Structure 1
Amino acid sequence: MERQFVSQLGHNSPVQQVFLASDKQLRPNRNGNLYLQVELSDRSGMVQARQWNASEEDYKAFENGDYVYVDGATQLFQGNVQLIATRIRRAREDEVDEADYMTLESTTINEMRTRFVEIMRGIKSAPVARLAAAFLDDEAFMDKFCRAPAGMKNHHAYQGGLLDHVLSLAELSLLVAPRYPNLDGDKLLLGVFLHDAAKVDELTYERDIAYSDEGQLLGHMAMALTMVDQKAAEAVKKDGMPLPDKLLVEIKHMIISHHGKYEYGSAKLPMTLEAVALHHLDNLDAKMASFTQLMKDCPNVDSPWTQYFSQIGRKLYKGEVGQK
């Protein structure tokens, strides 16, 4: 059977193929019978799967991050496609083509990295450039930065997603900053670079995406403050020149305020022009990515409208079918 990617799965389609498994749970239904719930993904997206009347053996047959071969069929549930599996087993090596599970190719990631480094090396302010260089020159950090996702599910939730997101913000910053003379474009670029930088350690992402213990306990904003202090110390040690305390405070403020509201996890509300700009650009890029994915995953392929999404309180208009 020719592979169908998650984004191509429709209602009542038979499925016999390999997916990447994550977030598996063995749960009881209302009658106390156990069922297996697991997220299945490929490079196009993710689908929820359930296996009814499951056992402990079914649960232990594979681990999160394994490639699994699934027999089953799809159905619509509350407007979304879900997969009802009759069997899930760990896939054999000869059944797996890892390219089917990589959203971004390595050549694309390398091109994005080159462009991003070019932008950051263009910073004119010496203190800002020195702090940026402390991160850019750290090969181990940059390797993780270019592989990490930007999140678990909401947006850019794939390997290379963090770089994809941050490069988009950097390009937006180059367009926006010149429009506002009182806005410091160099500080904004550094805030763009570092606002989610600690996701390299907050998340694990060798295959499936999950929280590290440190990420679960502290979160990326708190972790990033430590990273800034460490890299600032490295920059000072390298050339013997101090970094302005005010600069470090303003960069840290951008990090802890970039979610924009207390209820969204910000420790502070944005209080500088650069922090305000970062929050709104970050929100714009995240929303565009997540809404695009919702449209892409919508099972209403013959309608210009998506189904109603309770998480955003609306339907989305995709445009006339067959038109861009």
Structure 2
Amino acid sequence: MKKVFIGSLIEGDKVEDFFMIKSTDTKTDKNGNFYLDMVAGDNTGEMICRKFRATPDEIDMISVGEIFKIKGIVKEYNSSKNLNANQIEKVIEPDQINILDFVSAAPVNPEDMLETIKAYIKKIGNKEIKNIVIEIYRQYKEKLMYYPAAKSNHHSVKSGLLYHMMRMLKSAEALGTVYNNINMDLLYAGILLHDICKIEEMESNTLGIVSDYTMEGKLLGHIIMGIKLIEKTAEKMGIDREISVMLEHMLLSHHYYADFGSPKKPMFLEAELLHYIDMIDARVYDFENAIENVKPGEFSDNIWVLDNRNVYYSLFDKQDQLKLE
């Protein structure tokens, strides 16, 4: 039975407990010795875990998505927790563990999220736009239930892709009540399609753990793969070319910068909004995640995705705000 969780660990803690391996790489130190550079995780977070002077048997034994008993000590490096492992053992008796201790998942039931997604698809008034979305979602319904939105960083949890898109759709709907010049059909469709090919870009098991990127994912990436999918689907269905190209442009430009995979910046309003809604939800998730294991009045460790900022968990309670109102 697991007793120690990553969220509660501090520098100097001696650990002997179960962790799931999220990624692993075999490296060589300056003396030519092999070591394992891993990411170990549970349902409270992840941390770097290194096993120096790794033996060939240890290297062969470690595999992504499996649970191991790790003995070691917690060190702090670059303001982040690291586990220096002295011993790693494979779990022999599965009844020692509860898989829910190791899997991070979106806080909303995937079946409920899928129903919300379907409700937004119904809101799309343009039949051609709606038909493209329906056809593409028909292909990915099963995998959407568990796929994460990333291998690491924002929404890299079971059902994270659904959760990301659901929150984006709700944000878009709220914007639509303020600005009446938004083509909501385009915006909803752009949100629903912008990351859909992450399902083809990454290899994930049903626990939402990504083992690697696919060959196409490495060579093309989800943006290009998504554009090709829209173009192919639109041609097959005889969809108006302007609609297809506008949807393709929304995918092409949603990362905004060439260095991040977008050779063009958004060239119409809905494409611009897609980028910012995407960024807002990613940032909200990052801030939420940063303080998940932080006590009120304290700061998080350095958060790499937030430019190594320390996030403060305010003492100001939302209930106090409600009282003031």
- Output the TM-score relative to the length of structure 2: 0.89
Kept after mapping to 2: 8 A contact 1:49/1:82 = yes
What does residue 36 of structure 2 align with?
A: 36
CA distance in structure 2 between the aligned counterparts of 1:144 and 1:310, rounded to whole angstroms = 29
CA distance in structure 2 between the aligned counterparts of 1:308 and 1:41, rounded to whole angstroms = 18
In structure 2, do the counterparts of structure 1 residues 78 and 177 end up closer, same or farther at CA, with 3 Å as the change threshold? same
Structure 1's unaligned 5+ residue stretches are: 237-241
Structure 2's unaligned 5+ residue stretches are: 320-325
Count, aligned residues: 314
Matched, 1:318 2:313: yes
What does residue 157 of structure 1 align with?
A: 156
Give the C-alpha shift of residue 313 in structure 1: 4.6
Kept after mapping to 1: 8 A contact 2:108/2:163 = no
Alignment of 1:219-230 (within 5 A): 219-230=221-232
Deviation per residue, 1:222-279 (Å, 9 max, x gap) = 1101211233245x2xxxxx32110100000000100111222112101110000000
Matched, 1:72 2:72: yes
1:124 maps to a residue whose letter is: G
Alignment of 1:153-302 (within 5 A): 153-206=152-205, 208-209=209-210, 210-234=212-236, 236=237, 242-296=238-292, 301=295
Give the C-alpha shift of residue 316 in structure 1: 2.0
Kept after mapping to 1: 8 A contact 2:15/2:72 = yes
What does residue 117 of structure 1 align with?
A: 118
CA distance in structure 2 between the aligned counterparts of 1:321 and 1:187, rounded to whole angstroms = 39
Kept after mapping to 1: 8 A contact 2:106/2:158 = no
Alignment RMSD, CA only? 2.3
What does residue 62 of structure 2 align with?
A: 62
Give the C-alpha shift of residue 16 in structure 1: 2.2
Q: Which secondary structure does the structure 1 equivalent of 2:155 belong to?
A: coil
What does residue 239 of structure 1 align with?
A: none
Give the C-alpha shift of residue 322 in structure 1: 9.2
Deviation per residue, 1:110-149 (Å, 9 max, x gap) = 111111111112212222212122123x1x4111122211
Matched, 1:19 2:19: yes
| Structure 1, 92-101 or 192-201: larger mean CA deviation | 92-101
Kindly, what percent of the aligned residue pairs are identical?
A: 24
Kept after mapping to 2: 8 A contact 1:196/1:220 = yes
Deviation per residue, 1:178-198 (Å, 9 max, x gap) = 322221011100000000000
Kept after mapping to 2: 8 A contact 1:134/1:232 = no
- Output the TM-score relative to the length of structure 1: 0.89
CA distance in structure 2 between the aligned counterparts of 1:287 and 1:183, rounded to whole angstroms = 23
In structure 2, do the counterparts of structure 1 residues 321 and 71 end up closer, same or farther at CA, with 3 Å as the change threshold? farther
Give the C-alpha shift of residue 309 in structure 1: 4.2
In structure 2, do the counterparts of structure 1 residues 26 and 106 end up closer, same or farther at CA, with 3 Å as the change threshold? same
Kept after mapping to 1: 8 A contact 2:197/2:222 = yes
Give the C-alpha shift of residue 60 in structure 1: 0.8
| Structure 1, 188-197 or 305-314: larger mean CA deviation | 305-314
Give the C-alpha shift of residue 315 in structure 1: 2.6
Kept after mapping to 2: 8 A contact 1:304/1:318 = yes
In structure 2, do the counterparts of structure 1 residues 75 and 313 end up closer, same or farther at CA, with 3 Å as the change threshold? closer
CA distance in structure 1 between the aligned counterparts of 2:315 and 2:154, rounded to whole angstroms = 25
Kept after mapping to 2: 8 A contact 1:15/1:74 = yes
1:69 maps to a residue whose letter is: K
CA distance in structure 1 between the aligned counterparts of 2:180 and 2:318, rounded to whole angstroms = 40
2:287 maps to a residue whose letter is: F
CA distance in structure 1 between the aligned counterparts of 2:304 and 2:41, rounded to whole angstroms = 22
Kept after mapping to 2: 8 A contact 1:304/1:321 = no
Give the C-alpha shift of residue 296 in structure 1: 2.8
Kept after mapping to 1: 8 A contact 2:24/2:62 = no
CA distance in structure 1 between the aligned counterparts of 2:252 and 2:56, rounded to whole angstroms = 42
1:118 maps to a residue whose letter is: A
Q: Which secondary structure does the structure 2 equivalent of 1:189 belong to?
A: helix
